[in-house]
Amino acid sequence: MAERTLAIIKPDAVAAGVAGEIIAHIQRAGFRIVGMKLVRMSADQAGAFYAVHRERPFYAELVRFMSSGPVIPMVLEKDNAVADFRTLIGATDPAEAAEGTIRKRFARSKGENAIHGSDSPENARAEIAFFFAESELVG
């Protein structure tokens, strides 16, 4: 059965004009987009989304970054979607990301790393619900 995961094309990639290339990369990898929108998160929304990192030293910078410009949240569907998408996006630090991954190709730095992907099926469900009502998803 198909699994769902959340992807977010981050402000750096949207501003650089590479969102379309990233979406094409995702689709070529066999993911089906069942929800997508362009939004600008407020600092409060970004803080709530990344609340799990609240105690981490990079939290404030992450919130600032994610609320600095438009982002594109997407719900992706595929067998083994969470794990396969994590492989597709690559390591958080693009210098450590494998060739052919989204972050290797499009990320500028560990902080401005082009894309977010859910890290577990449980988190995927919660993250999808953060951005999308079930009625906004197709299929």
The half-sphere exposure of 12 on its side-chain side, counting CA atoms within 13 A, is 16
Active site residue 25: no
User: Which listed residue (74, 116, 128, 131) is catalytic?
Assistant: 116
Strand ranges across the sheet with 115-117: 32-36, 72-78, 3-9, 115-117
Where would I find the beta strands (DSSP E) of the chain? Answer: 3-9, 32-36, 72-78, 115-117
Give the angle 132-11-63 at the CA atoms, nearest 5°: 80
Active site residues: 116
